[in-house]
Amino acid sequence: MAALALVTGASSGIGRAFAERLPGDGYDLIVTGRRRERLEALAEPLPDVRVQVVRADLSTDQGIDSVAELCASQPLTMLVNNAGVAHYMPLADLPADKARELTQVKVVAPTMLTRAAVPGMLSRDTGTIVNVAGMIAFAGPAPASQMPRRAIYGGSLAYIVAMSQTLHAELEGTGVNVHVVCPGVVATEFHEVQGMDLSAIPRMSAEDVVTAALAGIKLGEVVSAPGVADYSLLEAVFGADLAAFAAQSPQLGCRYRAS
């Protein structure tokens, strides 16, 4: 029996690149997205691969629940939580409906799909969860002069990174692996749909992001950063996180005490 991967947001960009790459590694596919015609066009040139096309809008509870049911009922070998929306703007300017859409797609959906997929993977003693985040997850401390504000978007990516790291540790020794890939700016239509022209900015290809994620999994990385050549920089971040966590005390820090 072939391995089976479910890829969200497979109609374009990084999700499409995953869907095009995985059959060569022996995977059948379940591809989900909002645009059925694009998903069917993706499936058409893959005659030797079983491809199930599922139209689903992960900004809605109904869409999330329908895909979660597939994650729970199908013998998934891999789940790729890739679906995303941009909505880059300061929180005060972000309409409520767009804020809700962003958190549904980038926080609620990967959480609920992963929750649905993991029990089956555990019962089969094998499986991989791949979450797609981004380097903006590490940009929270940047001053306003350095990069535009996008609090909810950046916060959602940071959540994905922390969830992936914590869940990976939670599942250690079970045969189920969790990985999160954090690309920088990627040459997809992701920014174009928001009217952002990044054609003059050097960008990585979606195919290279997939290459990095799959290689990172083989290397044993929980977090891969396709555009970061010196991985010790990320290790320093993770080490500092743990150092701060370990340094906590029940005693009030002296800088907070009244002078």
Give catalytic residue positions. Answer: 153
At which residue do the structure tokens 């790291």 appear?
A: 165
Strands 223-224 and 78-81: unpaired
Helices of type H across 74-205: 96-103, 109-124, 151-170
The alpha carbon dihedral of 199, 201, 207, 210 has a sign of negative
| Tokens found for residue 57 | 């809008």
The alpha carbon dihedral of 39, 44, 47, 48 has a sign of negative
In whole angstroms, give the CA distance from residue 154 to residue 88: 9
| Tokens found for residue 50 | 């079983």
3-state secondary structure of 129: strand
Spatial contact of 72 and 122, defined as CB atoms under 8 Å apart: no
Amino acid in the structure at residue 29: L
Q: Which residues pair with 81 in a beta bridge?
A: 131
